[in-house]
Amino acid sequence: MSDDTLRRELDTPIAQELLRTTPLARLAYNGPDGFPRVVPVGFHWDGTRVVICTVPTAAKVAALRADPRVALTIDTETPRALLLRGTARIEIVDGVPDEYLWANRKTGEPAQWQAFEREVRALYERMAKIEVTPVWARALDFETTLPKAVEDLVRRKHEHSTTAG
């Protein structure tokens, strides 16, 4: 996917709303045994990358170091989804990254944020900061945008009906 096409897809209202407000994404990666994994993760969108923070000893950290290719799905109960593919870069940082706190502010009440931050800072001495840079994206609302295979089917049916009639 070209950079311009990627940027247009990420700038759609559907994508922007999902990136800004959805509390969880589903991160898919290849485990060390070759089997795929899908795990729910909190995330922060910084305008360019999806940032996920976790314990440095998490299984996904080692797996992403071995194979940084990932897929992410960000969706809601309504039929809207953002599908992303990209590469992950991992940095082990001291303390708690701001992105972890920002990601968690999508849930919970503002009155609880300070207490949550104190608890988190007391718990984590270090965190793994995983930055996923998208190389492909597709925003779907299943009304104006559909999965490519469905769009192709609709197009073929339309072409067949116009040539047959």
Q: Check residue 147 and give its pLDDT.
A: 63
Q: Check residue 103 and give its pLDDT.
A: 95
For domain 3-164, the question of CATH label 3.30.465.10 is answered with no
Q: Check residue 165 and give its pLDDT.
A: 61
Low-confidence stretches of the chain (pLDDT < 70) are 142, 144-147, 149, 151-152, 154, 158, 165
Q: Which residues pair with 134 in a beta bridge?
A: 86
What is the phi/psi pair of residue 105, to 5°?
A: -75, -5
Q: How deeply is 35 buried, as exposed, middle or buried, from its count of CB atoms within 10 A (0-12, 13-18, 19+)?
A: exposed
What residues does each domain of the chain span?
Answer: 3-164
Q: Check residue 149 and give its pLDDT.
A: 65
- Give the pLDDT confidence of 143-154 residue by residue, as tens digits: 766 667 676 676
Q: Check residue 58 and give its pLDDT.
A: 96
Q: Is 106 helix (H, G, I), strand (E, B) or coil?
A: coil
pTM, two decimals, is: 0.86
